A and B are shown apart, each in its own frame.
Chain A
Amino acid sequence: MPDKPKVPGLFKGLGVTLGILKDTVVDGANTVQYPHEKEAPPIRARGVIALHEGNCTACMLCARSCPDWCIYIEGHKQLAPPRRAGGKPRQVNHLDRFDIDYALCMYCGICVEVCPFDALFWSPEYEYSEPKIADLLHDKEKLGEWMETVPEAPELEAGAQKK
């Protein structure tokens, strides 16, 4: 089979740009016009961190492991009723404040990884920009609202032990 005549790279380059120009005009662009149409992010996208407040024990592991120190936790000890009748009242940590400053967060996800009680989750929600930077500090109510957008956890692999 004879070799095809060699096209100089200069013309090849011009051909590439013209080809994409043609594709864009004929088939439309690869981008979307964002505020009018939206691309659905992948289901496991790292959009925002949601807090399941009931699971949190204010153990501070996430706050300590955060590279940016963008998690603020305050809690106090309080007594809870005993498990069994006649028992001693239990001591539990009550969560007073759980804030994540998204102006600082770099979406590394270490807090979600280290949480031993499944209190933090990734949500693919990404539209929470604010005109004022101070408003990017999400308190625990707002972080709790993100829980609705957290996708279902995937099925465990066969043979995996459920905690």
Chain B
Amino acid sequence: MIQLAIEIPYWGQSLLRVLGGLVAVLLPAGAIVYLFLFKMMSFMQSRLGPMEAGPYGSLQLVAEVGKWMQKEDLAPDAADKSIFKIAPIVVLLSTFLLVVVIPFGPDALFTDFEVGIFYALAVASISVLGILIAGWASASKYSLLGGLRAAGQLIAYELPMVLAVIGVVIQAGTMNLQQIVVAQNTGEIFGWGGIGNPYIFTQFIGFLIFMIAVQAELTQAPFDMPIAESELVSGYMTEYSGFRFLIFFIAEFATAGVFALLASVLFLGGWGIPFDWFGWTTVDSVDNWMNIGGPLIMFTKMLVLTFIIMWVRFSFPRFREDQLQTFAWKVLIPLALANTAVTAIFKVVF
């Protein structure tokens, strides 16, 4: 545990937390957009992507943000103006609420919440509200259809996501994300604790279901029916321009980053390295340098997982609406239920 020489007042701690939250949301979003959306997608299409703004186009994002900030803040005449304007903020808000419970190190966390994962899955669905009101308030048929499709899809894929997480919760015996990390890094695989026990091994089906559900929650291809550009222009985002579109855009990729962070906490051992290596036993005995190393480990794992999310996005064509719903209700949910049941049986037997 950190013993600080000076006492930081409450307002100072809050300020640090706000700054940390901004970094934890915006840094992954920027990294994902530049590394994967700009560069990896271009390379997968045998082109170089942005190359002019900064070395290798690394400042392209700054240019894009500057461009969006100068654009006029348009709203359709028939739109429900006040709701129309808060919709993107609601979507981005759910991302910030989500990052609050994610632990980045033994002490590098915003809040040590006893029912962290429950809270995370609950606030993740606030973005559905944002999307739905964006679709409704735009007073456009494309937006409305996109919003309805998004609502149907996000609710359908929230269930397998929750059910996949239940397996982890049963195995760890706690809903506290920090405790889930500790449980993975102090765990043993058949009595061998060399690499701890990341739940990706025991909960591999859960991990697969979780990642597929995340893909759908983020409305990334092949689950991009709500923003299918060939049918709905841009779905619920059609009428948005300027910085409100920018907020939607940031929210999309920030949420991808935060979900990847969540997945790495749940399945890949989070910020931890197997506690055996350094003779730690509990979270209190972890060395202080893990408060720096932990966020770096988390960032690396986040990049690996978002690489997979984006790779799938750039490779596969879009699901049809009925296929999409069938896949959720007839394949993923029964599979997740079976996974939960088997995990519970194993937990009781062993």
> Does B44 lie within 8 Å of A31, measured CB to CB?
no
Which among A16, A18, A24 is the interface contact of B47 at CB below 8 angstroms? A24
A31 to B46, CA, bound (A): 7
CB neighbours (8 Å) of A25 from chain B are: 43
Residue in contact with A21 in the complex, picked from B40, B48, B312, CB distance below 8 Å: B40
Residue count of chain A within 8 Å CB distance of chain B:
15
Give the shortest distance, in Å, between B43 (CB) and chain A (any CB): 4
- A residues less than 8 Å from B47 (CB atoms): 24, 29-31
Query: Which residue on A lies nearest to B46, using beta carbons?
Result: A30
Also in contact, A13 and B40, with CB within 8 A (given A31-B47, A31-B48, A33-B51): no
Taken together as a complex, chains A and B put the C-alpha atoms of A23 and B43 apart, in Å, by: 8
Given A24-B43, A25-B43: A17 and B314 within 8 A (CB)? yes
Q: How far is the CA of A20 from the CA of B44 in the complex (A)?
A: 5
A21 to B41, CA, bound (A): 8
Q: How far is the CA of A151 from the CA of B232 in the complex (A)?
A: 47
Cβ-based interface call for B70 (8 A) = no
Q: Which residue on A lies nearest to B40, using beta carbons?
A: A21
Known: A10-B316, A33-B51. A17 touches B44 (CB 8 A): yes
Residues of chain A with a CB closer than 8 A to B43's CB = 20-21, 24-25, 29
**Nearest residue in A to B313 (C-beta to C-beta)?**
A17
- In the bound complex, residues from chain B placing their C-beta under 8 Å from that of A14 are 311-312, 315
Q: A29-B48, A33-B51 are in contact. Are A13 and B316 (CB under 8 A)?
A: yes
CB contact list, A110-129 vs B, under 8 A: none
Q: Which of A14, A21, A30, A33 is the most central at the interface, judged by chain B CB atoms within 10 Å of its CB?
A: A21
Contact of A20 among B45, B51, B312 (CB under 8 A): B45
Chain B residues with CB under 8 A of A23: 46
Residue pair A29, B311 in contact (C-beta under 8 Å): no
Which residue of A10, A18, A20 contacts B46 across the interface (Cβ within 8 Å)? A20
Asked if residues A29 and B46 are in contact (CB atoms below 8 Å), the reply is yes
By a CB distance below 8 angstroms, the chain A residues around B316 are: 10, 13
Closest to A36 in B: B51
Q: How many Å from the CB of B196 to the closest CB on chain A? A: 28
Bound complex: CA A144 to CA B303 (Å): 57
Specify which chain B residues have a CB less than 8 angstroms from the CB of A10 in the assembled complex: 316
B315 cross-chain contacts in A, Cβ below 8 A: 13-14, 16-17
CA gap between A21 and B42 in the complex, in Å: 8
From residue A39, how far is it (CB to closest CB) to chain B in Å?
Answer: 13
**CB of B347, distance to nearest CB on chain A (Å):** 32
Bound CA span A13–B311, Å: 10
- Specify which chain A residues have a CB less than 8 angstroms from the CB of B311 in the assembled complex: 14, 17-18
Say how far A152's CB is from chain B's closest CB, in angstroms: 34
Q: Across the two chains, which residue of chain B brings its CB closest to A22?
A: B43
| Residues in chain A near residue B51, CB distance under 8 A | 33
Which residue of chain B is the closest to A24 with respect to CB atoms?
B43
CB distance from B48 to the nearest CB of A (A): 5
Contacts of B314 in A (CB 8 A): 17
Q: Cα distance A30–B46 when bound, in Å? A: 6
Chain B residues whose CB sits within 8 angstroms of the CB of A30 once the complex forms: 46-47
A42 to B151, CA, bound (A): 51
Residues of chain A in range 1-55 having any CB-CB distance to chain B below 8 Å: 10, 13-14, 16-18, 20-21, 23-25, 29-31, 33
* Across the A-B interface, the 3 shortest Cβ-Cβ residue pairs: A24-B43, A30-B46, A31-B47
Q: B: which residues have CB within 8 A of A?
A: 40, 42-48, 51, 311-312, 314-316
With A14-B311, A24-B42, A30-B46 already in contact, 15 other A-B pairs whose C-beta atoms are closer than 8 Å: A10-B316, A14-B312, A14-B315, A16-B315, A18-B44, A20-B45, A20-B46, A21-B40, A21-B44, A23-B46, A24-B47, A24-B48, A29-B47, A31-B47, A33-B48
15 A-B pairs, CB-CB below 8 angstroms? A10-B316, A13-B316, A16-B315, A17-B314, A20-B43, A20-B44, A20-B45, A21-B40, A21-B44, A24-B47, A25-B43, A29-B42, A30-B46, A30-B47, A31-B47
